[in-house]
Amino acid sequence: MDFALTEDQAQVREMVSGFAAERLAPNSRDWDETEHFPTEVFRELAELGLGSIYVDPEHGGSGMGRLEAAIVFEELSKGDVSTAAYLSIHNMVCWMVDRFATDEMRAKWLPSLCSMERISSYCLTEPGSGSDAAALKTRAEADGNSHYKLNGAKAFISGAGVSDVYCVMVRTGEDGPRGVSTVLVEKGSEGLSFGAVEKKMGWNSQPTAQVLFDDCRVPVANRIGEEGDGFKFAMAGLDGGRINIAACSLGGAAWALETATAYVQERQAFGKPLAAQQAVQFKLADMATKLEAARLMVYRAAYALDNKAPDAGMRSAMAKQFATDVCFEIVDEALQLHGGYGYIRDYGLEQRLRDLRVHRILEGANEIMRLIISRKLLEAA
């Protein structure tokens, strides 16, 4: 495996880094405090090809791989973690349409999704089934030959109420994973509504709420794939989603390490810079080593997924669990090095700490990642 980025990958990183510094970083605190969803910035990102990162160029996408996506989300998260993470969700929906839908569906949905003229949300989690996604209860029943009627609720949905398209996992058949299908629901559909916006610890640049279905009529033509294929699609999407969330953690932690390194060289204590203290030097060394280890795991998992390695799912779980845990620790250590100033909003560290905390829960809680890893090990034993 070549550890050096290709020329194309390096150019992508440079482009995204510049955008993050210019358009995300200066606005990050304001978006967090005002809970502003930056629609205009998402459309600028789409103009750079980042609204459809792994959609086939034939269908209007950028045709990049999971490794390039990890690079993109790491760099964007140095500017704003919450906004970068939402872009990952939208890209998951685009990928699902490109990968599993018919040509007719691609022609209908992808142009506006790739341009982010229409922004999308991913709806899997329910109030009574988080990590146990196969137990979902939102049901789609036939309403004549051409429509479904959806009833149920999805919980913790990023973009609920502001997104234009909702990719929804629904039960069309028996209990368990084989009875799940995937449908696209447009905002404005009769019977579609949203709960109150949740007051969250972090990720405040994107609204989170329940998505509610009350005899919501959806055309059968909006179904992705065949009935019963939805759970398979959802699990395939989560492998990439886990890598992306891990990459967003890398970006937040890298920003925190850079910020702390600059601060300890300027801050004087006992007549000399904090950086002159060996205890501080060792702390920085540990933070940098943990960050590099996490980055290597994330890139390795992305490489495995790009190359369809049989252990790609396990590696995605490993990368997500390790990187999100370790990167949260790095931000916490960076805050500690700032002393009381780290606890103040002006320095940005408390925001990164809040934003990274949820990464250890979503896309499958880290306890579930450990379960996935251990099961794979035991199967091989």
- Please, are residues 77 and 255 in contact by the beta-carbon 8 Å criterion? yes
Measured CA to CA in angstroms, residue 305 lies from 55, 69, 133, 319, 368 at distances of 15, 12, 22, 12, 19
- Return the half-sphere exposure (C-beta side, CA atoms, 13 A cut-off) of residue 108: 13
State the average pLDDT over residues 239-246: 97
Regarding whether 368 and 289 lie in a shared domain, the answer is yes
Hey, what's the torsion of the CAs at 176, 182, 185, 191, to 10 degrees? -20
For residue range 52-97, list pLDDT tens digits in order: 999 999 999 999 999 999 999 999 999 999 999 999 999 999 999 9
Mark which of 192, 227, 262 sits at the end of a domain: 227
State the average pLDDT over residues 170-187: 95
In this predicted structure, what is the pLDDT of residue 130? 74
186 in a structural domain: yes
343 in a structural domain: yes
Residues 269 and 340: their CA atoms lie apart, in Å, by 14
Regarding whether 283 and 248 lie in a shared domain, the answer is yes
269 in a structural domain: yes
Regarding whether 271 and 333 lie in a shared domain, the answer is yes
For residue range 320-365, list pLDDT tens digits in order: 999 999 999 999 999 999 999 999 999 999 999 999 999 999 999 9
Residues with catalytic function? 363
Residues 144 and 358: their CA atoms lie apart, in Å, by 41
**Single-letter residue type at 39:** T
Regarding whether 281 and 206 lie in a shared domain, the answer is no
For every residue of 314-353, DSSP letters joined together read HHHHHHHHHHHHHHHHHHHHHHHHTGGGGGSGGGSHHHHH
Q: What is the CATH number of the domain that holds 171?
A: 2.40.110.10
Structural domain range at position 156? 120-227
Q: What is the CATH number of the domain that holds 253?
A: 1.20.140.10
What is the residue-averaged pLDDT of the chain? 96
Name the residue with tokens 């988080």.
130
In this predicted structure, what is the pLDDT of residue 128? 83
366 in a structural domain: yes
- Please, are residues 166 and 119 in contact by the beta-carbon 8 Å criterion? no
3-state helix vs strand vs coil in the chain, percent to 5: 60, 15, 25
In this predicted structure, what is the pLDDT of residue 1? 67
Regarding whether 223 and 235 lie in a shared domain, the answer is no
Q: In the predicted model, is pLDDT for residue 131 greater than 90?
A: no
| Nearest C-alpha neighbor of 24 from the set 50, 45, 49 | 45
Regarding whether 144 and 84 lie in a shared domain, the answer is no
1 in a structural domain: no
Regarding whether 216 and 90 lie in a shared domain, the answer is no
Q: In the predicted model, is pLDDT for residue 153 greater than 80?
A: yes
**Single-letter residue type at 62:** S
Regarding whether 209 and 339 lie in a shared domain, the answer is no
Regarding whether 211 and 125 lie in a shared domain, the answer is yes
- Return the half-sphere exposure (C-beta side, CA atoms, 13 A cut-off) of residue 186: 14
- Please, are residues 94 and 113 in contact by the beta-carbon 8 Å criterion? yes
Instruction: Give the pairing type, strands 165-171 and 120-123.
Output: parallel
Instruction: Give the pairing type, strands 147-158 and 139-143.
Output: antiparallel
| Nearest C-alpha neighbor of 185 from the set 116, 143, 123, 108 | 123
Q: What is the CATH number of the domain that holds 104?
A: 1.10.540.10
Task: State which H helix or E strand residue 292 sits in.
Answer: helix 278-306
89 in a structural domain: yes
- Please, are residues 136 and 155 in contact by the beta-carbon 8 Å criterion? no
Regarding whether 104 and 71 lie in a shared domain, the answer is yes
Residues 267 and 263: their CA atoms lie apart, in Å, by 6
Q: At what angle do helices 230-266 and 66-79 cross, to 10 degrees?
A: 40
Domain count, the chain: 3
In this predicted structure, what is the pLDDT of residue 363? 93
Residues 377 and 271: their CA atoms lie apart, in Å, by 53
In this predicted structure, what is the pLDDT of residue 132? 79
In this predicted structure, what is the pLDDT of residue 78? 98
In this predicted structure, what is the pLDDT of residue 3? 83
Point out which residues pair with 143 in neighbouring strands. Answer: 147
236 in a structural domain: yes
Regarding whether 129 and 94 lie in a shared domain, the answer is no
Regarding whether 334 and 236 lie in a shared domain, the answer is yes
Mark which of 176, 206, 227 sits at the end of a domain: 227
Residues 373 and 12: their CA atoms lie apart, in Å, by 32
In this predicted structure, what is the pLDDT of residue 213? 98
2 in a structural domain: no
Mark which of 98, 114, 130 sits at the end of a domain: 114
